[in-house]
Structure formats: structure tokens, C-alpha cells
């Protein structure tokens, strides 16, 4: 009798866990599926109430054609976003790996003070320093340039990235480094061939954070970019959502959201195992 009760309790607990997981999954996936299906509605149907979310008069690519005909076209804004995001990832990874390795393995005056100063910048709201950033970029001749926007994104991303990489390097046993030095490895060889493969999950983590932050960032791109040909996808989406004469083309908006969402989903699903390991390595020493 006791075994039967115990078995029933375990079954009920398992059913409760699976049911909770299924409900949570549906709540997260439903908006994504809704957006993707709504993007394939004809323009006239997309202006109607959103239920049902799927097209009732047939699938259409009209919304994507409208999106591509807006401004300089979808591909121009996508190219700008790709350039800004890729450059932000590359520079953030290079600088944070070098800085994290330095803070973790080298001794130099005021090391702890510099590290605290870098981390303290996370507490400063980005919106509060947007005007000084605008003035500095104008003085440097980088206002209304994608290069200037990349510089802003890298600057905002570096404090968190350096923190993550410092902790990732700290989690690597020093015995591995000592053994490599006994084999004649220098600092560059140590970093590239020995340490970097061991902290690769942390590198992937900061790369994902940098890409998602640059790909979805809106406010800095809106303030710093005045030339329509240099708009990134979030700024283009805002201009599209404003519509003509106050009318919003909801079908084109849903198509734009789908286009922006796809790269983020693909990258996260492809690299999620590295992402989770990187977060854990960066949080636990």
C-alpha cells in the first residue's frame, strides 16, 4: 500500500512538472508563433482584429514587399545592423578577453581600483550620458556614422564583458598555466592556445550579449543616426510603425519583427549550451 501511494505521488509530481513546463512553453512560444503567422496575412486582413492569428484568406508575402519598399529598403537597414552587430561583437570579445586575462593573471598597481572603476560604470544609466556621447562623437567627426555607433555599443558592453572574462579566467586552475609555462609557452601562446579554449563558453556568452544588445538597441541609433541610409533595423521599424497620416501598417510591422527575431533565435538556439556554461563559469569561482 505504501509503495502504491509513493508511486502515485511520484507520478503526480511528474505530471505537475511536465504540465507546468508545457504551460510555460506555450506562454513563451505563442507570441512568436502569432507574430510569424500574422506577417503572412494580406495587408487588408492584417488591419482587422488579430483573431484568429493565422491568415484566413491565404498566405501572402505582401507585408514583406511593403517592408522592403520602405525607405532605402529592408536589405540596407539589415546590412547596417549586421555591420554594427558584428563589429561590436568582434571588438568587445577582443578587448574583454585581453582585459579579463590581464586582470586575472597579472599584477600591476591599482589593479583592483581600476577593476572597480570599470564595474562602477554599469551603475550609470545610459540615457543620462547620451548627450555627452553625442557631443564627443560630433567633436571626433563620428556623428551620424556606423563606426561611431559601434564605438558607443562597445563602450557600453565592455564593463560586463570584462567582468565575465575575468571570472572565467579565474575559474581556470593555475596548475594548467604553470604546466604550459614549464613547456616554454609565452604570454601570447598561453592565452591563445591554452587559456582561450578553456574559457570558450565565456567568450560565446559575451559575444551573444554583445550581438543581442547591438542588434536590438534603439535609443542611441535613433539619436546618433540622422541619415536614413544609415538607419538600423530598430530605427527603421519605428519609422515604419509611425506610418503615413498616422496609419500603422500592422502587417509590415509584424514582418519586420519577424525579420529581426530570426537571427537572435538562430544564434541562441545554436549556442545555448555554451551560453549556459559561460554564465555559470562567470558566476562561480
Walk along the chain (285 residues) and give the pLDDT tens digit of each residue. 555 556 676 777 788 888 888 888 888 888 888 888 877 877 676 666 667 766 777 777 777 887 787 777 788 888 999 999 999 999 999 999 999 888 888 888 888 888 888 888 888 888 888 888 888 888 888 888 888 899 899 998 999 899 888 988 888 888 887 787 887 777 788 888 888 888 888 888 899 989 998 998 888 888 888 888 888 888 888 777 665 555 677 777 888 888 888 888 888 888 777 766 655 654 554
Specify the number of domains making up the chain.
2
CB contact set of 269 (below 8 Å; sequence gap of 6+): none
Q: Are residues 42 and 167 in the same domain?
A: no
Burial 212-249 (b: 16+ CB within 10 A, else e): bbbbebeebbebbbeeeebbbbbbbbeebeeeeeeeeb
Q: Are residues 26 and 107 in the same domain?
A: no
Q: Are residues 222 and 237 in the same domain?
A: yes
Q: Are residues 247 and 267 in the same domain?
A: yes
Q: Are residues 196 and 261 in the same domain?
A: yes
How far apart are alpha carbons 148 and 72 in whole angstroms? 21
Q: Are residues 118 and 257 in the same domain?
A: yes
Query: What CATH number is given to the structural domain containing 251?
Result: 1.10.3720.10
Given 47, 62, 77, which residue is the final one in a domain? 62
CA angle, residues 51, 52, 57, in degrees to nearest 5: 120
Q: Are residues 171 and 123 in the same domain?
A: yes
Residue 37's domain comprises 2-62
Are the C-beta atoms of residues 244 and 224 closer than 8 Å to each other?
A: no
Amino acid at each position: 500500500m505504501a509503495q502504491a501511494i509513493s508511486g502515485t505521488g511520484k507520478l503526480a509530481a511528474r505530471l505537475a512538472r511536465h504540465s507546468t513546463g508545457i504551460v510555460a512553453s506555450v506562454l513563451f512560444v505563442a507570441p512568436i508563433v502569432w507574430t510569424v503567422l500574422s506577417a503572412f496575412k494580406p495587408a487588408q486582413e492584417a488591419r482587422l482584429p488579430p483573431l484568429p492569428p493565422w491568415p484566413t484568406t491565404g498566405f501572402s508575402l505582401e507585408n514583406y514587399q511593403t517592408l522592403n519598399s520602405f525607405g532605402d529598403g529592408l536589405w540596407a537597414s539589415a546590412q547596417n545592423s549586421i555591420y554594427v552587430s558584428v563589429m561590436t561583437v568582434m571588438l568587445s570579445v577582443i578587448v574583454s578577453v585581453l582585459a579579463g586575462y590581464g586582470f586575472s593573471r597579472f599584477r600591476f598597481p591599482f589593479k583592483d581600483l581600476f577593476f572597480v572603476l570599470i564595474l562602477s560604470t554599469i551603475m550609470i544609466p545610459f540615457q543620462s550620458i547620451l548627450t555627452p556621447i553625442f557631443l564627443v562623437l560630433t567633436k571626433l567627426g563620428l556623428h551620424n556614422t556606423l563606426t561611431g555607433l559601434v564605438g558607443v555599443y562597445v563602450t557600453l558592453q565592455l564593463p560586463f564583458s570584462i567582468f565575465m572574462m575575468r571570472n572565467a579566467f579565474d575559474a581556470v586552475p593555475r596548475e594548467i598555466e604553470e604546466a604550459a609555462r614549464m613547456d616554454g609557452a609565452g604570454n601570447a601562446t598561453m592565452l591563445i592556445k591554452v587559456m582561450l579554449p578553456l574559457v570558450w563558453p565565456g567568450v560565446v556568452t559575451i559575444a551573444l550579449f554583445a550581438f543581442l544588445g547591438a542588434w536590438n538597441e534603439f535609443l542611441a541609433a535613433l539619436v546618433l543616426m540622422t541619415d536614413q541610409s544609415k538607419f538600423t533595423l530598430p530605427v527603421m521599424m519605428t519609422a515604419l510603425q509611425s506610418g503615413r497620416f498616422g496609419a500603422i501598417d500592422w502587417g509590415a510591422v509584424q514582418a519586420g519583427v519577424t525579420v529581426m527575431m530570426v537571427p537572435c533565435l538562430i544564434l541562441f538556439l545554436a549556442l545555448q549550451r555554451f551560453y549556459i556554461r559561460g554564465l555559470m563559469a562567470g558566476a562561480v569561482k
